Structure 1
């Protein structure tokens, strides 16, 4: 008798998900607890494991279909050790062909559509999919094709084996013939739809305002250069700038608690802890995992936590619990070269700190013009709960802590 694979509980207030990627195909042998499908929720991708060892017999739902918690999505022949046979094998092959309709294929106009796994591999390895010969059905690209192409590119020591451009969030179409114009339609993932809805909702509900300041990064850069080797040797992690800003934010939020608060109905909720949401890039969009109680953490603990989140976000391994909560957000657009921006708050939070690129600029110091490594800081906040004086004060505390890191050690 076939064992049903059902959509598991997905986390608080999450009732449905989208079938994002089949990790196994009908006829494949699976081990107990081996992931067979990836579901996309509003926040993260969730892998569903097989409840038993056996053979995957059939998919009950299609790729891209929305499914609710508890719904049956596949069936497994428990105890089987090989590929399905007879009529079951025929059904498996038929189902495999249907599921492959969403895999990478070359359309008549030369554009590409790719499965989530292949698209993620293209982005991660920075290869041009139009230059790779697919080994799948009808010449479709597989994840293995992309990985092999990336390896060939690396082994060629600079020879453009795959003509890889800079990584892009969408596939690069083949060069169009002169005068030809092309379009590609890609369905928004559930995560991207949720991001769009939340950001628009934040603009419509909150009274958003942004205050700016510039920050001299000289002291932090000198401290980092002086101790980075010893720090890495002792803690097994590089000393980055994010831990400095996390510590600086902790000082400011303790002194100006409204920046760490949130509105709940007609009440203001103040927190005596600081759970920092750190914006990181994931294959399907920006996600904000939460580093909890940063005010009680060391520099090394903060760096290790953020590095772990970044690694798991890239691999699509963040969980719902990782994303839960958060009282304040730091978003670093500087890693992409941003000079200045007005970040949008992450509801129900009331403020977000935007970091930007560091660049040498002339500034006046003690009556003389000198060149210093400067960064623009931006604090966006909900004016319904945070007054301008409080926002400016909080940002000024962060600036002063970065320009004089000793303040972070003696709690000034």
Structure 2
């Protein structure tokens, strides 16, 4: 039976890869999960395992070729290779395939239940185990939180699928796991009626954590370690079950390389390590913070970001809000804030200047005849941008309810991936933190973001007289590749006009 070997999923926004190395030749016998070849993308190196045991019949994509996702790499003659040549004992020792996450709780032997990684969301293929709330030997009840996972976007809590005793932690804190990995094992009945077993000795627990799983390191990783004389025990693996990958060895080699020395005249004064050591704290960046950093830098490197400023007199909006806020809250059950006014004003302006609501896709400009409004929110975990879909069709009350609900979910870390995707324009309110003026950074692939700031009483000249008015600076950052200066200024002026005379929104002016 012929089995096809295809390019695996390469990650979000990655569409192609280059064949770097083939580890096997046509005619070679291969075992299940044995590495066949290595692909290189613009972000990472991906190794392709064999989907079945057999013989490598044909290599379709040679080294150096560029291939897309799901492209055919090779074909196997299944059943003719390593699986048939092995002994009966070898076949019995072959590990069973991991159950799908959809089938959890997965039943193991002796009344045990496997704790699997829950659904992480579309396009999310891995997570990092951030915190274990339970230890081996602890009794747990059904739905009690066992651990917390961190993905590129959100934190995910993992509840116990049944009651019992936590007998094994397969993925300790800091481990990167894929979407179908096993995290732990719970023993006991569903009601948790089982006597807690003895806790493992501390030294044994430490040894288990340091030794990792009995897995084969990546062939490319072993090759580099051999060439550079690096001890495998000194390299922390980031692959499945602690498997050492090529990039892990590269990082380890770079970290152990001696630093370049400079002459005393050129080198800056280094801090006294002995004096400052007890006042320095190093904390590993969370996956969310790493993603935020990468995306913001990518935005600066990709888009031609320019910012234009204006100021708005908030007198009319504040008067309207003060007049109707009690009646509004009584009828709709939500407080009237400023965000609904700004959302409405932006939706109104985007109709006149649609390029601010568009995005670049290759050599094309994609215009959106709808507004999915992103509302940037600061949380203890970092900046997130939940999306209010079809905001242009919502009433003031619907917008306030949606923003309030998304804000609560963001602070609690309960936002799903779907709730933070698909935005066409973003509003960021730095004024809640006291910011007087700033230049917001685009949220790719969007072409515009409006920055709100604090309301401050200032002396203004109105009809030839100096009066005190509540003023706010507005900042529109936009992608100059598709938005001209005229369009950006027009957009900001329309927002200003709508806020200084809210009746224009009702009259569609």
**Residue of structure 2 in register with 1:79 after alignment:** 189
**Residue of structure 2 in register with 1:128 after alignment:** none
Cα distance change on mapping 1:337 and 1:97 into 2, 3 Å: farther
Q: 8 Å contact 2:170–2:184 — kept in the other structure?
A: yes
- CA distance in structure 2 between the aligned counterparts of 1:223 and 1:305, rounded to whole angstroms: 21
Residues 28-77 of structure 1: CA deviation (Å, up to 9, x unaligned): 34344443221111111112233333322221111122111111111111
Cα distance change on mapping 1:359 and 1:98 into 2, 3 Å: farther
Pick aligned residue for 1:7 from 89, 110, 117: 117
What are the residue-to-residue correspondences of 1:31-50 with 2, within 5 Å?
A: 31-50=141-160
- CA distance in structure 2 between the aligned counterparts of 1:251 and 1:93, rounded to whole angstroms: 64
SS at match of 2:279: coil
Structure 1 unaligned residues grouped into runs of 5+: 101-177
The alpha-carbon deviation at position 218 of structure 1 amounts to 0.2
SS at match of 1:250: helix
- CA distance in structure 1 between the aligned counterparts of 2:427 and 2:315, rounded to whole angstroms: 21
**1:296 to 2:357 alignment:** no
The alpha-carbon deviation at position 4 of structure 1 amounts to 1.6
**1:89 to 2:198 alignment:** yes
Q: 8 Å contact 1:26–1:93 — kept in the other structure?
A: no
- CA distance in structure 1 between the aligned counterparts of 2:414 and 2:202, rounded to whole angstroms: 30
What are the residue-to-residue correspondences of 1:2-401 with 2, within 5 Å?
A: 2-79=112-189, 81-82=191-192, 85=195, 88-91=197-200, 182-401=279-498
Cα distance change on mapping 1:221 and 1:97 into 2, 3 Å: farther
Structure 2 unaligned residues grouped into runs of 5+: 1-108, 210-274
Residues 122-162 of structure 1: CA deviation (Å, up to 9, x unaligned): xxxxxxxxxxxxxxxxxxxxxxxxxxxxxxxxxxxxxxxxx
Residues paired across the two proteins, number: 334
Q: Which is bigger in relative contact order (C-alpha 8 A, separation at least 6)?
A: 1
SS at match of 1:89: coil
**Residue of structure 2 in register with 1:403 after alignment:** 500
Cα distance change on mapping 1:23 and 1:409 into 2, 3 Å: farther
Segment of structure 1 superposing worse, 10-19 or 185-194: 10-19
Cα distance change on mapping 1:245 and 1:95 into 2, 3 Å: farther
Q: Which has the higher helix share?
A: 1
Cα distance change on mapping 1:216 and 1:28 into 2, 3 Å: same
Cα distance change on mapping 1:351 and 1:28 into 2, 3 Å: same
The alpha-carbon deviation at position 262 of structure 1 amounts to 0.8
The alpha-carbon deviation at position 95 of structure 1 amounts to 8.9
Cα distance change on mapping 1:180 and 1:59 into 2, 3 Å: closer
- CA distance in structure 2 between the aligned counterparts of 1:95 and 1:252, rounded to whole angstroms: 65
- CA distance in structure 1 between the aligned counterparts of 2:172 and 2:190, rounded to whole angstroms: 24
Q: Which has the larger radius of gyration?
A: 2
- CA distance in structure 2 between the aligned counterparts of 1:201 and 1:230, rounded to whole angstroms: 46
- CA distance in structure 2 between the aligned counterparts of 1:321 and 1:345, rounded to whole angstroms: 20
The alpha-carbon deviation at position 12 of structure 1 amounts to 2.0
SS at match of 1:90: coil
- CA distance in structure 1 between the aligned counterparts of 2:327 and 2:136, rounded to whole angstroms: 52
- Structure 1 ranges of 4+ moved more than 6 A: 92-100, 178-181
- CA distance in structure 2 between the aligned counterparts of 1:343 and 1:272, rounded to whole angstroms: 24
The alpha-carbon deviation at position 367 of structure 1 amounts to 1.3
- CA distance in structure 2 between the aligned counterparts of 1:98 and 1:258, rounded to whole angstroms: 59
- CA distance in structure 1 between the aligned counterparts of 2:204 and 2:461, rounded to whole angstroms: 70
- CA distance in structure 1 between the aligned counterparts of 2:186 and 2:393, rounded to whole angstroms: 47
TM-score (norm 2): 0.62
